């Protein structure tokens, strides 16, 4: 498995670039998908000056590179989004299934519009985000998950040196 390690400085730069790309949309609120989308959503909230920030928890991957069968909600969103322009944020659109799952749930709450934004997009994803910065096939290790990924990869003997 090819790893792409991302630094905090790179995350900040990517979020600033992503904010610039999303600014014409002018969202009323930002919703981050937990866990990976929490940090980018918060940084985008800061850069764009949008104080309405919500979190929806979704679990899909069980371990690095090992996904579950279907996404599941682990934390419900308790914000009113009807009639609002919503920017849905995650760190990466890997399979795209989590983004599709959450976007469909949000659309049932009748927002004016939902657009998606990620730091990275993988070409095999079923959903190409409306806004993203980089494209890669590698497994991305963001700074907020470094220790978790290192622990999980040590459990996979084939990847140990």
Domain map (residue ranges) of the chain: 3-159
pLDDT computed for residue 67 by the predictor: 54
C-alpha angle 25-31-37 in degrees, rounded to nearest 5: 105
Cβ-contact 20, 42 below 8 angstroms: no
pLDDT computed for residue 156 by the predictor: 54
CB atoms within 10 A of CB 125: 20
Residue 133: phi and psi, rounded to 5, are -105, -55
pLDDT computed for residue 59 by the predictor: 85
In the block, tokens 């519009």 appear at 113
- Burial bucket for residue 24 (CB in 10 Å: 0-12, 13-18, 19+): exposed
pTM reported for the whole predicted model: 0.89
Residue of 116, 43, 29, 117 whose CA lies nearest to 77: 29
Residue of 95, 58, 83 whose CA lies nearest to 73: 58
CA 89 → CA 32, 49, 54, 63, 81, distances in Å?
5, 15, 10, 21, 15
pLDDT computed for residue 158 by the predictor: 34
CB atoms within 10 A of CB 85: 15
User: How far from each other are the two terminal CA atoms of the chain, in whole angstroms?
Assistant: 13
Residue of 136, 144, 122, 161 whose CA lies nearest to 43: 144
Number of H helices, E strands in the chain: 4, 8
pLDDT digit string (tens) for the chain, length 161 residues: 788 999 999 999 999 999 999 999 999 999 999 999 999 999 999 999 999 999 999 987 565 555 556 778 999 999 999 999 999 999 999 999 999 999 999 999 999 999 999 999 999 999 999 999 999 999 999 999 999 888 888 865 333 32
pLDDT computed for residue 62 by the predictor: 60
> 3-159 — its CATH code?
3.40.50.2020
């Amino acid at each position: 498995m090819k790893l792409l390690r991302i630094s905090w400085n790179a995350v900040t730069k990517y979020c600033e670039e992503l904010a610039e790309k999303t600014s014409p949309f002018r969202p009323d609120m930002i919703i981050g998908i937990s866990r990976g989308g929490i940090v980018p959503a918060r940084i985008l909230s800061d850069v764009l000056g949008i104080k309405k920030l919500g979190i929806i928890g979704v679990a899909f991957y069980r371990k690095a590179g090992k996904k579950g069968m279907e996404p599941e909600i682990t934390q419900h969103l308790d914000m009113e989004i009807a009639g609002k322009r919503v920017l849905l944020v995650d760190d990466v659109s890997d399979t795209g299934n989590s983004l599709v799952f959450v976007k469909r749930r949000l659309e049932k709450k009748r927002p004016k519009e939902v657009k998606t934004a990620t730091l990275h997009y993988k070409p095999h994803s079923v959903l190409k985000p409306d806004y993203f910065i980089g494209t890669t096939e590698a497994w991305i290790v963001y700074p907020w998950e470094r220790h978790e990924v290192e622990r999980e990869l040590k459990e996979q003997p084939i990847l140990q040196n």
